[in-house]
Structure 1
Amino acid sequence: MPKTSRKPKTPRFYAALWAAKFTLAALRLTRHAGGQLPGVIAMKICPDFLSRIGTPEHMVFVTGTNGKTTTTNLVADLLAANGRQPLINREGGNVTEGIASTLIKDATMGGSARSSVSVMELDERCARLVFPHITPELIVVTNLYRDTFTRNAHVGYVYDVVDAALPAGSRLVLNADDLISGRLAPQCEQRVYYSMCDLPGDTTEPEGIVNDLNACPVCGGHLRYDCCHLGHIGRVTCESCGLTNPASQFEAIAADYSRSTITVRENGGAAAPSHEYHFSAGSVTDLYNLLAAITTARSLGLSATQIADALAGGVGIVESRYSEVVAGGKRLVRIASKGENGMACSRGFANIRREEGTKAVVLMLEDYYMAKDPTSTEFIGWFYETDFEYLADPSIKQIVVTGVRSEDMLLRLLLAGIDPARIAQAADGKAAADVVDYEHVDTVYYSHAIHNEHVAEESRNHLAHLIEGKEVA
């Protein structure tokens, strides 16, 4: 287990720590969140603050394009369910100052860590700013895709940032089915891989508008897919140089959707032990997040039985990412997607398309805060890297678009070949609920950006009242 070398605590460090602690107290007294502010203040006073503050003995960082928050929460909840309450940055944020704020909250007045274990989400681009100061025990990389264009440009750029930053002393938890992130950081000799079995809806080649791996990353040769789960993620071999997926130590060998269970075999071979785990959400993305969390929790010393019991006891995908209620016999489902991220939204659309029954879909994909700020403009080019064509499926009877970007989204839906008669526009969430044709569908899906969770929830509550015939103010 790596032990981060800590610089000595100097008067400047103590000044930074105590100023940050005072700020925390003031924020709590005034009932403000201010997640990153203590870290901003501490690092302003002491730029190498992260090299000096005490850290938990066992540290886990989770990064990657999609699934960071879900995987972080799952690992933390599995640990907590087994009596190991971890430090987690749910409020501090996943950038450098947020990491500092989380450690400040945990620190004593002398700068020592109170917690023995931490699980923290980390923005990929901040890896180069955090890991020179902290060498965690485990680093989980969920995947690497094309991300928000205005922040991360291209997957190759993000790969280079993360690849150079990962400390050699850390053990990596990697997705064997992703030939991009799975090849990260050869300087890290300790690594454990996880992989997924065949699933309903798999294809034999990448599907969708964007493919981030259209040639072998080693020789440029043609890639042959035996199985493709989503995007470029799957079992693949280069026909020129023979590059293929690394062997996985945690392999999902079966997924039973009727029982909501996934079976994971450990350490390869037909005679290797396998264990069954309950899942609360069964999309491909959710299963990968769960598999990453299981692999991480096992690497931290939890037994398979401890993990299985925690999952059976209610640990699962947090409601901010997936939530389902029933009103008047109609399923009302919220699915959150990372904003301005074509892959995340495309996978959400694909999952909706695969669901049984007839559906209406309410799209709330604009950035809530940018839409409220008259000085900012959201880059809508990502609409054209998103597979809105999935929504042309005959099972989707109605699509409702909302918000200030609804005209742009309407155009994209028309270009995707969707009948204009199936599209409705609404000014806001309440108006969206008012125009949903719930009587002629089995399920209403809210596909919303992460920052729009409260808007989607308010709209869903309003729709539930309409369906149940309750008086709505």
Structure 2
Amino acid sequence: MKPIRFYFALFSGKLTILLLKMLKKRATNFPGSVVLTLCPDFLKHLDKPEKIIAVTGTNGKTTCSNMLLDILTDNGYDCTNNNFGGNVDTGISACLLKDSTLTGKAKKKYCVLEIDERSAVRVYPYVQPDILIVTNLTRDSYKRNAHVEYIFNILNENIPDKTHLILNADDLISSSLKKNNKRTYFGMEPFPGEQLIGDNIVRDITACPVCSSPLEYSFLRYNHVGRAKCSKCDFCSPEPDFDTTERVFTPDGRADIKILHEGKTEEYNVPCENTINLYNATAVTAALRTFGLTEEQLAASFKKINVVRSRYDVIQEKGRTLKCIMAKGQNPVACSHSLNIARNTPDTAVILLWDDYYDRKETSENTAWYYDVDFEFLVNDNIRQIIVAGKRAGDLLLRLLVAGIPEEKISTTEHEVDADKLLDLNISKNIYIFFDMYVDQYKEILKEKIKEMMKNAD
């Protein structure tokens, strides 16, 4: 029998959702905080949907969960989800509460969840996914996630034994999770013209986890993600069950890809503007084919979905292009991906809005993560201007100078919305705004100002 405190928390949470709706507020995290305060094991007693597909990992969680939800919805599956809420225990509690009855029964049969890696210990004992995508495990914010091995251990100890894992075959760390679980691997072959051995600063695994001998990479796409084998023992990257073998990018920010699965080639047109993000589409393909969708269902649905504009937006005016690309702040791998895109584009201006919104009130901040970001990618003739905006502009200026970027290429301002005043459209035809996920309001103001500049330019 469920305890009285569970029902008290359930009714209080339902009332909280109702009040927030009356106030025209999103009921995303706060109702979850209410129920967990009143009943710390609320998730244990709440009935769950019959089929749960979840996503975790350092980068790509939101993109993957959005694609999963869009495709399942397009195919007639009505899913509980935390698409507009938090990915920690409070957000997950809130979304399950919202789609439950007054007695705690699940209203929907299917569920798609994005789950924060560190929340595993509070979520997985009660919410056990049938299918779990682990996108990757790479270095993240020191303050949030300490080190990748710390996160690996949290996941390895808490992922349920019954969960079918969808793992990145090109990531030697995440592909080693839960060795006894049923698993399906996804990966990508080296593509023509792609650098075989990446030149990133950070590589979180260089020695064999079995015998500690050096690893030998046949290719290294970024950081430690690629294909490798031990120089002494038989440890090596697993073979992908879903292997992207070809990709052709199209001008509309999409890609035509071919995925090899069980000896047969499947073809999809996916919303993706660069090679790194193709991992997300490949992971989603592996998960939904495992779930039971057909190649035809997937192909038709992929054509209908797009990347959320708040994460990736393109504006073109009078022969100039402005691209706004979100990268998770204090995450050196995600930020390095962005810089890698810019270095391959001619006549480029880069605007960096990478201050942490919640740390800006502090007089000091740990800026060590700057030195894990590959700012050396910007030591390139393609890069004409670099504009650093935010309270930490001076710290970033120092990092750029250490990288070897000429000082005359760099401009700084403490105010994000003033970055347009430093932009010279006469020397830059391609403008990138790289922004942290929590400074979207500044990015939007800046985007509109630069759009107007482009309209009025000669």
TM-score by length of 1: 0.93
CA contact (8 A) 2:65 2:83 kept: no
After TM superposition, the structure 1 = structure 2 runs for residues 134-153 of structure 1, keeping only pairs within 5 Å, are: 134-153=127-146
User: Hey, what does 1:350 align to over in structure 2?
Assistant: 340
Distance 2:356 2:189 in 1: 35
Distance 1:84 1:49 in 2: 26
- Change beyond 3 A, Cα 1:318–1:459: same
User: Hey, what does 1:370 align to over in structure 2?
Assistant: 359
Q: Is 1:319–2:309 an aligned residue pair?
A: yes
CA contact (8 A) 1:60 1:118 kept: yes
Could you tell me which amino acid in structure 1 is paired with residue 366 of structure 2? F
CA contact (8 A) 1:204 1:225 kept: no
User: Hey, what does 1:288 align to over in structure 2?
Assistant: 279
Distance 1:146 1:287 in 2: 20
CA contact (8 A) 2:133 2:287 kept: yes
User: Hey, what does 2:68 align to over in structure 1?
Assistant: 75
Distance 2:102 2:38 in 1: 16
Could you tell me which amino acid in structure 1 is paired with residue 285 of structure 2? I
CA contact (8 A) 1:42 1:49 kept: yes
User: Hey, what does 1:17 align to over in structure 2?
Assistant: 10
Cα deviation, residue 377, structure 1: 4.3
Matched length: 454
Distance 2:297 2:396 in 1: 45
Could you tell me which amino acid in structure 1 is paired with residue 301 of structure 2? A
Higher mean alpha-carbon deviation, 120-129 vs 429-438, is at 429-438
Cα deviation, residue 395, structure 1: 0.2
Distance 2:438 2:378 in 1: 22
State which of 420, 423, 444 in structure 1 corresponds to 2:410: 423
Give the secondary structure class of the aligned counterpart of 1:235.
strand
Q: Is 1:58–2:45 an aligned residue pair?
A: no
CA contact (8 A) 2:190 2:196 kept: no
User: Hey, what does 2:157 align to over in structure 1?
Assistant: 164
State which of 203, 213, 221 in structure 2 corresponds to 1:211: 203
Structure 2 stretches lacking a partner, 5+ long = none
Cα deviation, residue 457, structure 1: 1.9
Cα deviation, residue 445, structure 1: 0.2
User: Hey, what does 1:256 align to over in structure 2?
Assistant: 248
Cα deviation, residue 11, structure 1: 2.1
Higher mean alpha-carbon deviation, 416-425 vs 27-36, is at 27-36
Could you tell me which amino acid in structure 2 is paired with residue 443 of structure 1? N
Q: Is 1:198–2:198 an aligned residue pair?
A: no
Distance 1:413 1:298 in 2: 44
After TM superposition, the structure 1 = structure 2 runs for residues 310-459 of structure 1, keeping only pairs within 5 Å, are: 310-313=301-304, 315-355=305-345, 357-371=346-360, 373-374=361-362, 377-459=364-446
Give the secondary structure class of the aligned counterpart of 1:348.
helix
Distance 1:285 1:245 in 2: 18
Distance 1:105 1:154 in 2: 34
Distance 1:316 1:197 in 2: 24
CA contact (8 A) 2:21 2:27 kept: no
Give the secondary structure class of the aligned counterpart of 2:386.
strand
Could you tell me which amino acid in structure 1 is paired with residue 343 of structure 2? R
CA contact (8 A) 1:199 1:229 kept: no
CA contact (8 A) 1:58 1:137 kept: yes
Higher mean alpha-carbon deviation, 421-430 vs 408-417, is at 421-430
Cα deviation, residue 147, structure 1: 0.9
Cα deviation, residue 187, structure 1: 3.4
For residues 280-300 of structure 1, give each alpha carbon's deviation from its aligned partner in whole angstroms, at most 9, with x where no partner exists.
Answer: 323232100111111112122
Give the secondary structure class of the aligned counterpart of 2:152.
helix
User: Hey, what does 2:214 align to over in structure 1?
Assistant: 222
Cα deviation, residue 90, structure 1: 2.1
Structure 1 stretches lacking a partner, 5+ long = 1-7
State which of 25, 30, 41 in structure 2 corresponds to 1:32: 25
Distance 2:354 2:65 in 1: 23
For residues 187-220 of structure 1, give each alpha carbon's deviation from its aligned partner in whole angstroms, at most 9, with x where no partner exists.
Answer: 31x1111010113564444521111011112211
Higher mean alpha-carbon deviation, 274-283 vs 456-465, is at 274-283
CA contact (8 A) 1:202 1:227 kept: no
User: Hey, what does 2:268 align to over in structure 1?
Assistant: 277
State which of 219, 239, 243 in structure 2 corresponds to 1:247: 239
Q: Is 1:266–2:261 an aligned residue pair?
A: yes
Distance 1:310 1:317 in 2: 13
Cα deviation, residue 78, structure 1: 1.0
Give the secondary structure class of the aligned counterpart of 1:28.
helix
- Change beyond 3 A, Cα 1:366–1:40: same
Q: Is 1:91–2:84 an aligned residue pair?
A: yes
Could you tell me which amino acid in structure 2 is paired with residue 250 of structure 1? F
User: Hey, what does 1:303 align to over in structure 2?
Assistant: 294
Could you tell me which amino acid in structure 1 is paired with residue 441 of structure 2? H
Give the secondary structure class of the aligned counterpart of 1:226.
strand
- Change beyond 3 A, Cα 1:34–1:403: farther
CA contact (8 A) 1:367 1:378 kept: no
User: Hey, what does 1:235 align to over in structure 2?
Assistant: 227
TM-score by length of 2: 0.96
Give the secondary structure class of the aligned counterpart of 2:426.
helix
For residues 19-54 of structure 1, give each alpha carbon's deviation from its aligned partner in whole angstroms, at most 9, with x where no partner exists.
Answer: 001111111111223521111111121121111111
Distance 2:51 2:364 in 1: 42
- Change beyond 3 A, Cα 1:201–1:27: farther
Distance 1:463 1:265 in 2: 42
- Change beyond 3 A, Cα 1:454–1:199: farther
CA contact (8 A) 1:334 1:447 kept: yes
Q: Give the percent of matched residue pairs that are identical in Structure 1 and Structure 2.
A: 35
- Change beyond 3 A, Cα 1:262–1:217: same
Distance 1:10 1:430 in 2: 52
